[in-house]
Structure 1
Amino acid sequence: MTFASLAVIFGPLFFPSSDPNAGLLASLATFGVGMVVRPIGSALFGSLGDRIGRKPVFMITIGLMGAATVCVGFLPTYSEIGIWAPILLVTLRLFQGLSAGGEIGGGAVYLTEHAGNENRGFKTSFLQLMGPLGILASTIQISVLQSRLTIEEFQSWGWRVPFWTSLLLLAIAFYIRRSLEETPVFLELSKQDQTQSQLVNNFKDGEIRKRMFLLFFCVSSSGAILFFCVQVYAAIFLKTSIKLDSTLVDKLSIISTIALLPLTVFAGWLSDKVGRKPVILAGISLGVILLYPAFQLLVFLGDDFLAHERSLSLISITIVLVFLSSMLALVVGPQTAILAELFPARNRNSAATLPHNLAAGWIGGLLPLIVTWLNQFFENSLAGLWYPMIFLGLSGTIAAYYLPETKCTSLLR
């Protein structure tokens, strides 16, 4: 998330160009590369999770992610080593993507299998807070650094500090993960000698194959699109298209992210009462209908604030961002639970992680790049938003007809 927050900074440092738009596109493409390789990591580590257990995979993935993230903070820039700077940056993003592929999805399975059958949506919704908390932590760090340092100091070395501090997070994570217990579901599979790689079998089974598609297209893709629209692209849009001050945008992002946290937990709780499917469909439907108008309103309010500096315009921008967060919360709140509930225990880790990371990597991860490119191609700051809206419309239609309700599913099946 720190990498995404610094996309605007990475452009001139690693991809110098006379055209700032080209540098921004290159920076967003580098972020997207790490997302694209997530499915490879999910195939590798998801299969391992079905075979050797959920816990050992977590130790591998956190080590790979931690090492790659810390190394970003020590990279020389283009002015120092030339073309090797972006090559090394892309390489480290690949390692981040591979590790995230094994972590994301596998973490959902681990938590859900520990959650039991009661209030599973509420309990597992807390995992969905980690992305926003990552955004929050990185944004606060960057905001504090930018307020304490000059522009020259921040661009020279200040941007490296958040990557250096991740070393502390890595140490804490290693310490805590050593004490984790294997899930009761996997222990039961071990007793029955059913712990083997199921990746190929998943595609041979028609029902599992169908559910993998529904997870990819209807649940995970919708969540990824809304996450990157709300948590990543909205900040880039406010900084680059509307030209609001970066420090101000960071403060607005912090407020909307804080609002997202209780909204996500509420959506998870609500899915225990009315079902996963209705809550997810509500979030997708709001996205289809109101995503474009919300960004239109941001343009109007942003221009008004820049022209008159009215505090009411700023408050209104904050309300729009919080509203966008509520759409996201409705989709991702029940997501952890339904991701695991869709599949039988022996196939769960590999069957859930692959489509989920395909969606996060290929649909969500490339969204800021695609939307920004479409905006530049059509010379309209809102043109690219038709891409996520059309995708959400298709996924919502398919989900309404074919997505099963899973809230009462036994995880031991």
Structure 2
Amino acid sequence: MTDISTSSASATSHSYRKVAVAACLGTFLEWYDFLTFATLAVVFGPLFFPSSDPSTALLASLATFGVGMVVRPIGAAIFGSIGDRIGRRPVFMITITLMGIATVCVGFLPTYAQVGIWAPILLVSLRLLQGLSAGGEIGGSAVFLTEHAGDSNRGFKTSFLQLMGPLGILVSTLQIALLQNYLTPDEFLSWGWRVPFWISLLLLLIAFKVRMALEETPIYLQLSKTEAQSKSPLRDNLYDPETRKRMFLLFFCISAGGAVLFFCVQVYTSIFLKTSVKLAPQLVDQLSIYATLALLPLTVFAGWLSDRLGRKSVVVSGLILGSALILPAFHFLQANTGSILLIALVLVGLSAILALVVGPQTALLAELFPAKTRNSAATLPHNLAAGWIGGLLPLIVTWLNQEWGSSIAGLWYPTLFLGSGAIVAMLYLPETRIVDLRS
């Protein structure tokens, strides 16, 4: 009996690892594609949005990045409903293909100097396709992985999915740093910036092959056997008061809080250090790599901690720390440009705060909602928060800084948002770590 039980547990563990690798690989490609654009925002300005004012070109480039984020909720609404009606797996195949094709095409785009106004038009169009794809993938993958994870240690098991965003940034940043190191500035502006997008083709083929072997989640298979799927999941979600409440909590506290911290820590710090602090781009890229490497184990630890202490306490602590320390951290970065070690320590500290919110996030997305409408209920508010709150954060903060004549003042926006999210979460967010995902 012991041998049979051990063998079954081993098979189950092996099956989950296979699912986790496939889900994570595809999500990594989504984030790699999506965030390479953000990493190259400073480069895209003069190539696609030429202007006599460098600040205007940067704003235009950041706005294009933001466009992809804004349409994410549309993708979430479309693909989330499909995931509840016909299954989680088919959505994965569509979104990974759409994102990969759009990203590879960016690598072949002509610049403004070559085709004029068509260059930014084509760039924005491909960015829209990226956003639609990311809306279906990011959030839906959390549901898929959590439904495969079982009842124990879900926070730890699913936290690895949250590593894909940082890894996407790490790989794209490392590539760009290497290209800038081995190419002259003229070579990089001419063709070197295209290389990360070309590499997406290889990543797409690998991810597609791996995902072909994925199986549908056991929870959805049970729903389909009993014909318990929702025919109109979005409508059902909006008509149910408890689901509406939880969708708002997911949007405002968990997903928006995580998105604000993610873009403050992983995206805007790089832009801030390059444009406001005036550090060398190569040095900033190196610092970003160190901070991202620190974030990886911290995220897994936060997921594990949420299995012990509860999802709510871990997430709320991250929101409170973020609200209290974002402004002081950026003041410190600006005032201590001569100490690279201190700057690195601040970036690692910000990464630890981010980890507290995103570590338990994958499990929370699925645990908050009933099985038959879970995919659409989780993906829509999650992508709405990431797209409209997090995605526009660099643009809004940069614009506010320019309006107020300060490189720091715009950070009051994320500070106040995180503080508000912490208060709402303390009052209303339920604890979910022991819920039955089958219900």
Q: For residues 324 and 375 of structure 1, what CA distance do their matches in structure 2 show? A: 21
Please, which of 357, 366, 373 is the counterpart of residue 347 of structure 1?
373
**What is the deviation of 1:354?**
0.1
Residue 336 of structure 2 aligns to a residue in which SS?
Answer: helix
Q: Where do 5+ consecutive residues of structure 2 fail to align?
A: 1-34
- Opposite residue 92 of structure 2, the aligned amino acid is F
Counterpart code for 1:328: L
- Write the deviation string for residues 108-163 of structure 1: whole angstroms up to 9, x where unpaired: 00000000011000000000000000000000000000000000000010000000
Which residue of the partner structure matches residue 403 of structure 2? 377
Alignment of 1:381-396 (within 5 A): 381-396=407-422
Quick one: which amino acid aligns to residue 35 of structure 1?
A: M
Distance in 1, matches of 2:44 and 2:404, equals 25
Match 2:334 to one of 270, 292, 299: 299
Matches within 5 A, 1:12-411: 12-195=46-229, 196-302=231-337, 305=338, 313-411=339-437
How many pairs does the alignment contain? 404
Aligned to 2:22: none
Instruction: Extract structure 1 runs of 4+ deviating beyond 4 A.
Output: none
CA contact under 8 A between 1:63 and 1:170: conserved in structure 2?
Answer: yes
User: How far apart, in 2, do the equivalents of 1:168 and 1:301 lie?
Assistant: 41
CA distance in 1, matches of 2:334, 2:142: 36
Q: Which residues in structure 2 correspond to 1:1-12 (within 5 Å)?
A: 1-12=35-46
Distance 1:200 1:156 in 2: 49
Once the two structures are overlaid, the 10-residue window that deviates more, 197-206 or 162-171, is 197-206
Amino acid paired to 1:94: L
What TM-score do you get using the length of structure 1 for normalisation? 0.97
Structure 2 distance, partners of 1:372, 1:36, is: 17
Deviation at 1:197, TM superposition (A): 3.5
TM-score (norm 2): 0.92
Q: Which amino acid aligns with 1:368?
A: P
Structure 2 residue identity aligned to 1:28 = L
Alignment root-mean-square deviation, CA: 0.5
Q: Which runs of 5+ in 1 are unaligned?
A: 306-312
2:283 maps to amino acid: L
Cα deviation per residue 1:37-93 (whole Å; 9 max; x = unaligned)? 000000000000001100010000000000000000000000000000000000000
Does the 8 Å CA contact 1:48/1:197 hold for their aligned counterparts?
A: no
Q: How much has 1:301 moved relative to structure 2?
A: 1.1
Secondary structure of 2:244's counterpart equals: helix
1:309-358 deviation line (CA, Å, top 9, x unaligned): xxxx1011000000000010000000000110000000100000000000
- Distance in 1 separating the partners of 2:226 and 2:38: 44
Query: d(CA) in 2 for partners of 1:225 and 1:385?
Result: 11
